[in-house]
């Protein structure tokens, strides 16, 4: 039986939870603030989406190296250094006076987050007695729910009633407090020699992802479309090189072996990746949509995002019952198609749409997302051998961040298509451009539902406690 965490373990878990909260809150808060920040930088909100993309891209690029750095230089040293780096980058973001200096600061912030979150989890695993591990990990799961839920209204409040730099300055006291507590309480964790770093693999994977994401961002701008296409082509070539290297290297930076598993492949590469695109795009699209075309301020738009996340939260306790009663395949497929229906419903939204209709659709979308994210995450590991759990965890983390970045980049590209085709020099997205974007993402969600149908009828039976013969 799991024991209750002792005070020291609980405090370390809270420190790790606080760093996860910072990293999660940053993205959730920023999405609501984009329209107001764009005015200060003299760009469109769609242009400023690059700030989210580069943050996620740099986070993904350095994520594979986090474990190697912790093992070779000490987990506490890397963890505390990452906290300081994230805090310093937050200050740079707050005091950025131009668009490109702000983008550069976001890259540094992403690097800090890429080391802070996974190494923090590693610190917790290495310092917590096994009988207290469940209690400790439970503490760290709260920020994953709280930050996306309360981030949008917090961001909207700060932008509406204060100023956007406070979004980033909010991180500074948290970073300082967690740094000093970590130095005081976390024991010195001696480096564990892990062998050579697959530097070539790290560089080629990072460059391929960076080129693809940045190319997708550039191709939407008529003035940089050639650069964008060149980057996309280079990214595709580098990705092929990366995959060949990762398959052949004796100790690759990322093991691709878990992808050979049918269930894991569907949950990460096909259906799971597809469904994350529309569900990760909505928190970016909706605040801009409501502020530009409904005349809402940032705080009100953020409160509506609270409804989306509230729908997610209220259905979490029922997830296990749903999987046990109907099975993973049925619940995931049904949830994906229901999620697609809510995205399609957004194409009917306009300034005259009833607030209660908006709230209902957003709540239903959040409920579908709750069942999807929980089920896909659990099911991905259900059928794997023990030795594949660690590399599968790296792949799943990268999948989550890459699809989040792709969702933002694809949203920005789709919103920019309309003005480009109309020859609109203002590059302002009309309400029709948003409707077209929602239509595309609804189609992607439908394809995800069809992909999830390929799961075995008994997939996840052991995890859900559902008898295999009840399928």
In a 3-state reduction of DSSP, which class is residue 45? Answer: helix
The pLDDT of residue 173 is 94
Q: How many CA atoms lie within 13 A of 102 on its CB side?
A: 24
Specify whether 236 is located in the same domain as 350. no
Residue 375 is predicted with a pLDDT of: 82
Give the tens place of pLDDT for each residue, 127-156.
777 666 656 666 776 666 677 777 788 888
| Between 336 and 127, residue with greater pLDDT | 336
Confidence check: pLDDT of 360 > 80: yes
Task: Count CB atoms within 10 A of the CB of residue 328.
Answer: 30
CATH number for 97: 1.20.1250.20
What is the reported pLDDT for 323? Answer: 82
- Residues 6+ away with beta carbon under 8 Å from 128: 5, 9, 12, 13, 136
Total number of residues shown for the chain:
471
Q: Which of 446, 453, 455, 464 is nearest to 322 (CA)?
A: 464
Residues in CB range of 337: below 8 A, 6 or more apart: 445, 446, 449
Same domain, residue pair 204 and 171: no
Residues 395 and 435 in one domain: yes
Is 436 in the same domain as 358? yes
Q: Give the pLDDT band of residue 463 (cuts 50, 70, 90).
A: low
Residues 292-324: tens digit of each pLDDT = 889 888 888 888 888 887 877 788 778 778 888
pLDDT at 2: 44
Rg of the Cα trace of the chain? 22
Specify the pLDDT at position 424.
65
pLDDT of residue 131: 65
Q: Tell me, yes or no, whether 101 and 25 share the same domain.
A: yes
Q: 149, 179, 194 — which closes off a domain?
A: 194
Q: Residue 233: pLDDT above 90?
A: yes
Q: Where a domain ends, among 194, 224, 241?
A: 194
Regarding whether 214 and 102 lie in a shared domain, the answer is no
State the pLDDT at residue 422: 72
Statement to judge: residues 20 and 81 lie in one domain: yes
Q: How many CB atoms lie within 10 A of CB 366?
A: 26
Of 408, 403, 401, nearest in space to 62 by CA: 401
Q: What share of the chain is helix, strand, coil (3-state, %, to 5)?
A: 85, 0, 15
Of 235, 252, 269, which residue constitutes the final position of a domain? 252
Same domain, 243 and 311: no
- How many whole angstroms separate alpha carbon 437 and alpha carbon 452? 23
Mean pLDDT over residues 160-164, rounded?
87
The residues, any chain, with a CB within 8 Å of residue 261's CB and separated by 6 or more, are 383, 384, 388
At residue 179, does pLDDT exceed 90?
Answer: yes
> Using alpha carbons only, what angle is made at residue 127 by residues 125 and 132, rounded to the nearest 5 degrees?
75
Looking at residue 269, what is its pLDDT? 87
How many angstroms separate the CA atoms of 452 and 104, rounded? Answer: 38
268/158 same-domain check:
no
Measured at the CA of 134, the angle between CA 131 and CA 139, to 5 degrees, comes to: 130
Note the pLDDT of residue 229: 92
Give dist(CA 64, CA 41) in Å, integer.
Answer: 33
How many domains does the structure of the chain reveal? Answer: 3
220 and 343 together in one domain: no
Task: Please state, as a whole number, how many other Cβ atoms lie within 10 Å of the Cβ of residue 387.
Answer: 11
Q: How much of the chain, in percent, has pLDDT values that exceed 70?
A: 90
Amino acid 471: pLDDT: 43
Comparing 371-375, 378-382, 386-390, 464-468, the range with the smallest average pLDDT is 464-468
418 & 393 share domain:
yes
pLDDT at 413 exceeding the cut of 80: yes
Mean pLDDT of the chain: 84
Same domain (yes/no): 41, 154: yes
- Structural domain harbouring 55: 1-194
Distance CA 455, CA 433 (A): 35
Contact between residue 205 and residue 64 where contact means Cβ atoms under 8 Å apart: yes
Residue 464 has what pLDDT? Answer: 59
Phi-psi region at 460: left, alpha or beta (left = phi > 0; alpha = psi -120 to 50): left
pLDDT of residue 13: 82
Most confident among 16-20, 30-34, 110-114, 378-382 (mean pLDDT)? 110-114
Confidence class for position 84, pLDDT limits 50, 70, 90? very high
């Amino acid at each position: 039986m799991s024991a209750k965490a002792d005070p020291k373990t609980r405090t370390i878990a809270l420190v790790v939870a606080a760093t996860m909260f910072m990293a999660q809150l940053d993205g959730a808060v920023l999405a609501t603030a984009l329209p107001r920040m764009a005015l200060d930088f003299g760009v469109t909100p769609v242009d400023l989406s690059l700030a989210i993309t580069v943050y996620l891209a740099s986070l993904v690029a350095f994520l594979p190296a986090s474990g190697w750095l912790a093992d070779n230089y000490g987990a506490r040293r890397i963890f505390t250094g990452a906290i300081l780096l994230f805090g310093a980058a937050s200050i740079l973001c707050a005091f950025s006076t131009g668009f490109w200096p702000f983008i550069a600061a976001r890259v540094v912030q992403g690097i800090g987050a890429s080391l802070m979150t996974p190494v923090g989890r590693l610190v917790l695993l290495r310092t917590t007695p096994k009988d207290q591990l469940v209690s400790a990990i439970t503490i760290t799961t709260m920020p994953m729910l709280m930050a996306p839920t309360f981030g949008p209204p917090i961001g909207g409040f700060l932008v509406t009633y204060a100023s956007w730099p406070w979004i980033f300055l909010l991180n500074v006291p948290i970073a300082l407090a967690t740094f000093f507590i970590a130095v005081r309480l976390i024991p010195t964790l001696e480096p564990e020699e892990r062998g050579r770093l697959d530097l070539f693999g790290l560089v080629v994977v990072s460059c391929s992802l960076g080129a693809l994401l940045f190319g997708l961002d550039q191709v939407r701008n008529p003035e940089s479309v050639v650069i964008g296409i060149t980057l996309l082509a280079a990214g595709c070539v580098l990705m092929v090189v990366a995959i060949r290297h990762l398959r052949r290297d004796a100790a690759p930076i990322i093991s691709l072996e878990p992808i050979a598993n049918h269930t894991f492949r569907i949950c990460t590469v096909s259906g799971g990746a597809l469904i994350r695109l529309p569900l990760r795009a909505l928190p970016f699209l909706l605040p801009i949509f409501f502020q530009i075309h409904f005349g809402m301020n940032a705080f009100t738009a953020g409160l509506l995002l609270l409804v989306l996340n509230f729908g997610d939260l209220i259905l979490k306790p029922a997830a296990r019952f749903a999987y046990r009663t109907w099975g993973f395949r049925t619940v995931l497929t049904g949830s994906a198609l229901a999620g697609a229906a809510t995205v399609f419903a957004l194409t009917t939204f306009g300034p005259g749409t009833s607030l209660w209709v908006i709230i209902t659709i957003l709540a239903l979308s959040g409920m579908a997302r709750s069942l999807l994210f929980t089920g896909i995450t659990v099911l991905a590991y259900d059928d794997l051998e023990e030795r594949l759990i660690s590399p599968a965890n790296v792949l799943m983390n990268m999948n989550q961040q890459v699809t989040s970045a792709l969702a933002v980049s694809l949203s920005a590209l789709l919103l920019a298509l309309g003005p480009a085709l109309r020859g609109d020099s203002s590059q302002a997205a009309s309400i029709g451009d948003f409707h077209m974007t929602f239509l595309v993402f609804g189609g992607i969600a439908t394809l995800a539902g069809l992909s999830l149908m390929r799961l075995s009828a008994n997939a996840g039976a052991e995890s859900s406690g559902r008898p295999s013969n009840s399928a």
